[in-house]
């Protein structure tokens, strides 16, 4: 079914005074308030006129509606031949179509969404918006100002720092076929390529990566049990405090990371390969879950501008915090 997106507003962001006249100013095509970063990045939305909240998930892929919202709106569902796999290997192949969707100044009609089998943690959360929608724009995550903005990509490369900051870091990243961001990080001076995931609260390292780099298992000193991944009793979740986590020269002291098993690495996928959901970035079934995932525990302490076309992050610390050593390369 054809989907039509419309933008209700076009606004200007401030541009650098050093910008040349030939560089167009940054232009916002849509903006939404960030109402929470406690667990997920939540923004207000309307589905078929009903107010709800949606998760902005850079580590997801497709759009999802919660079973609770589907029930409330009395939407019909259909089984799809191609589904999605979540972080624990569970497959979702049920979908529904809504007549209208609004998020900030986004407007859309006839929007198809996947419907996961499990209910979301809160019935107030109506669904998930993944990068399939927003990689056609830049995304400005102003956690301090509580705004997420979708920005046109027609600006000059590097001309994106409009907020007041003495310095910032530029972090190149790899953009995968699923629209996921893989960026270089250092955890206790060990280098990894990490997934940037606004759908994850706490940052993550897999047990496979932790054992390989640090000889850490669930029985190691300092490792404590946290619960289960997405409530799946097959996937026990643990956590451990590390010394430092560094992104683009910005160092977080004493970061606490979740440790999880990689249930996807040996998951058998048939020839009709499902699309991949949050925390997962695979072009082959052997890749599994990313070794390291950077979640909101660190991201919400930064101003993050995602320049998808440039494949670069522009980041700077928010107000000084004891847990952050602000020493990005000077720009």
The overall average pLDDT reported for the chain is 82
Write the pLDDT tens digit of every residue in 192-232. Answer: 999 999 999 999 999 999 999 999 999 999 999 988 876 66
C-alpha pair distances (Å), 283 with each of 8, 45, 273, 274, 276: 36, 32, 10, 11, 9
The residue-averaged pLDDT of 72-79 equals 92
The answer to whether the CB of 87 falls within 8 A of the CB of 277 is yes
CB distance 48 to 98 below 8 Å: yes
pLDDT above 90 for 172? yes
Question: What pLDDT band is residue 234 in, cutting at 50, 70 and 90?
Answer: confident
Task: Report residue 61's pLDDT band, with 50, 70 and 90 as the boundaries.
Answer: confident
pLDDT of residue 45: 94
Token digits of residue 321: 């915090």
Q: Are strands 42-47 and 181-187 parallel, antiparallel or unpaired?
A: unpaired
Let me know: does 225 contact 236? Beta carbons within 8 Å: yes
Element (H, E) at 314: strand 312-317
**Which pLDDT score is estimated for 19?**
46
Most confident of 29-43, 72-86, 89-103, 297-311: 297-311
Strands 312-317, 302-307: pairing is antiparallel
Digit-coded pLDDT (tens) for 244-270: 999 999 999 999 999 998 766 544 333
Query: Mean of the pLDDT values across residues 93-111?
Result: 88
Rounded distance, CA 64 to CA 60, Å? 10
What domains lie within the chain, and their CATH numbers? Answer: 4-134 (2.40.70.10), 166-326 (2.40.70.10)
pLDDT tens, position by position, 35-46: 998 888 999 999
Q: Name the pLDDT band for 86 (thresholds 50, 70, 90).
A: low
Does 228 or 238 have the greater pLDDT score? 238
The top-scoring range by mean pLDDT among 148-157, 260-269, 319-328 is 148-157
State yes or no: pLDDT of 322 exceeds 50. Answer: no
pLDDT in tens, 275-298: 334 443 333 333 567 899 999 999
**What is each CA distance from 309 to 19, 65, 135, in whole angstroms?**
19, 28, 8
Assess whether pLDDT exceeds 50 at residue 1: no
Q: 308 in helix, strand or coil?
A: coil
Does the pLDDT value for residue 328 go beyond 80?
Answer: no
Write down the pTM of the prediction.
Answer: 0.84
Classify each residue of 205-236 as buried b or exposed e, where b means 16 or more C-beta atoms within 10 Å of its C-beta.
bbbebbeebeebebeeeebeebeebbebeebb
* Cα 123 to Cα 103: distance, rounded to the nearest angstrom: 18
């Amino acid at each position: 079914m054809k989907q039509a997106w419309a933008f209700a507003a076009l606004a200007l962001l401030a541009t650098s005074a050093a910008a040349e006249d030939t560089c167009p100013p940054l232009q916002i095509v849509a903006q939404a308030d960030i109402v929470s970063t406690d667990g997920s990045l939540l923004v207000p939305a309307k589905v078929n006129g009903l107010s709800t909240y949606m998760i902005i998930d850079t580590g997801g892929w497709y759009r999802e509606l919660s079973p609770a919202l589907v029930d409330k709106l009395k939407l019909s569902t259909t089984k799809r031949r191609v589904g999605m796999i979540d972080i624990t290997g569970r497959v979702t192949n049920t979908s529904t179509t809504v007549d209208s969707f609004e998020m900030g100044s986004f407007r859309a009609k006839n929007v198809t969404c996947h419907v996961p089998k499990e209910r979301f943690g809160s019935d107030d959360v109506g669904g998930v918006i993944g990068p399939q929608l927003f990689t056609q724009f830049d995304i400005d995550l102003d956690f301090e100002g509580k705004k997420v903005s979708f920005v046109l990509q027609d600006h000059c490369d590097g001309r994106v720092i409009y907020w007041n900051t003495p310095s910032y870091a530029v972090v190149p990243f790899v953009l995968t076929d699923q629209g996921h961001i893989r960026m270089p990080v250092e955890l206790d001076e060990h280098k990894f390529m990490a997934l940037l995931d606004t759908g994850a609260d706490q940052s993550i390292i897999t047990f496979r990566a932790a054992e390989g780099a640090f000889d850490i298992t669930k029985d190691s000193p300092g490792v404590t049990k946290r619960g289960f991944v997405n409530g799946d009793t097959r996937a026990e979740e643990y956590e451990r405090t590390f010394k430092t986590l560094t992104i683009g020269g910005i160092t977080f002291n004493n970061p606490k990371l979740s440790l999880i098993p990689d249930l996807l690495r040996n998951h058998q996928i048939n020839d009709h390969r499902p699309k991949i959901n949050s925390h997962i970035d695979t072009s082959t079934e052997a890749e599994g879950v990313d070794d390291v995932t950077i979640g909101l525990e660190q991201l919400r302490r930064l101003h993050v501008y995602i320049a998808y076309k440039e494949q670069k992050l522009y980041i700077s610390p928010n107000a000084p915090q004891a847990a952050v050593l602000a020493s990005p390369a000077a720009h």
